[in-house]
Amino acid sequence: MENKNNHREIGRRRFLQTGAKVTASAMLVGLSTPRLTSATKPDNKILPKIESITLNNGVKMPMLGFGTYSLRGEDCRKYVAQAISHGYRLIDTATVYGNEEFVGAGIKDSGINRKELFITSKVWVDDSGIEKAKKAFQTSLDKLGTDYLDLYLIHRPRGDVKGSWQAMEELYRAGKIKAIGLSNFEPHQLDELLKYATVEPTVNQIESHAFFQQNAANENLRKHNIRMEAWAPFAEGRNGLFCNPTLEEIGRQYNKTNAQVSLRWHYQRGVVAIPRTSKKYHMMENLEIFDFALSDADMEKIGTLDLNITHFPEWE
């Protein structure tokens, strides 16, 4: 534990030291700097701009969001409000996280206009099937304090997937969900769903990080024009991601931390990432990825870290 904390502290100090040097590094890659300055001073209310992509149904989705898995109660509420105040607009939750009402309270506390946010939730396995999924969706809306979701996903391909998808298509057509999608679907499970889907899935949210990159899955999703979204973009720090020497070596060139290099790598491969943190300085650090670019050689080096194996076998 002490060791882990030391690494985080080193990362934090490096990030703070980086502030002074970052202007030069941004100039090196020919990018403007105001965003950097603003993100390191959240109190001045000039927020960093998070780039968006357009999903296959025309809906715009931020490329970087805020994950809320394991954030609980009033802490969750506080972190969500802080994340929004620092510039995050995509908030990712799920029925099974048991925190939707606190996510909703945090959103309310933030005072931000609902239209500026991109809220994702997910229907859990126990709620699969037409009627149950519709009921679960309404419960999510009530807890989140909103009358629509930007993205609603089938959390896992288990139970009555066909019934859940039908419910989601109906809710989508009724305008209650802006985009519908999947999570943890493998290619053959996606193929199965595509046989009966009358609305194309927009997103598949799957585990992806430097050690389990999911290149084949990404390629397959691209073929179907479905956007890959990475859960556990840092592998939750497993396998020493935050002190991985290859990521450190790459980060040194740009004065960036392993977390920032990881998020930039996701971004450059067109993958939406939703890192979670309970630390304000990590919220800021994780936003500072649009002011530098990894070279092709760096991208290839990160490619060599792929072990092509899940780092969450407990969830299989």
Ligand X SMILES: NC(=O)c1ccc[n+]([C@@H]2O[C@H](COP(=O)([O-])OP(=O)(O)OC[C@H]3O[C@@H](n4cnc5c(N)ncnc54)[C@H](OP(=O)(O)O)[C@@H]3O)[C@@H](O)[C@H]2O)c1
Cα separation, 298 vs 249, whole angstroms: 10
Cβ distance to ligand X smaller for residue 67 or 106: 67
Marked catalytic residue, from 79, 88, 97, 172: 97
CB of 241 to ligand X, least distance (A): 8
Cβ distance to ligand X smaller for residue 145 or 237: 237
By the rule CB under 6 A, 129 interacts with ligand X: no
CB of 250 to ligand X, least distance (A): 15
Is 88 assigned a catalytic role? no
Q: What is the DSSP string of the chain?
A: -HHHHHHHHHHHHHHHHHHHHHHHHHHHTT---HHHHHHH-GGG--PPPPPEEE-TTS-EEESBEEE-TT--HHHHHHHHHHHHHHT--EEE--GGGT-HHHHHHHHHHHT--GGG-EEEEEE-GGG-SHHHHHHHHHHHHHHHT-S-EEEEEESSS-SSHHHHHHHHHHHHHTTSEEEEEEES--HHHHHHHHHH-SS---EEEEE-BTTB--HHHHHHHHHTT-EEEEESTTGGGGGGGGG-HHHHHHHHHHT--HHHHHHHHHHHTT-EE----S-HHHHHHHHTTSS----HHHHHHHHTT---S-S-GGG-
CB of 312 to ligand X, least distance (A): 7
- Choose which of 35, 178, 282, 311 interacts with ligand X (CB under 6 A): 282
Cβ distance to ligand X smaller for residue 131 or 282: 282
CB of 16 to ligand X, least distance (A): 12
Which residue type is seen at 295?
S
**Interface with ligand X by CB under 6 A: which range of 28-36, 194-202, 227-235, 301-309?**
227-235
By the rule CB under 6 A, 285 interacts with ligand X: yes
Q: Binders of ligand X among 251-270, rule CB under 6 A?
A: 259
Cβ distance to ligand X smaller for residue 77 or 155: 155
One character per residue 100-119, x = contact with ligand X (rule: CB under 6 A): --------------------
**Closest residue to bound ligand X by CB:** 67
By the rule CB under 6 A, 232 interacts with ligand X: yes
CB of 68 to ligand X, least distance (A): 5
Residues at the site binding ligand X, with contacts judged by CB under 6 A: 8, 11, 67-69, 92, 155, 183-184, 205, 231-237, 242, 259, 274-279, 282, 285-286
Any idea which residues carry the catalytic annotation? 97
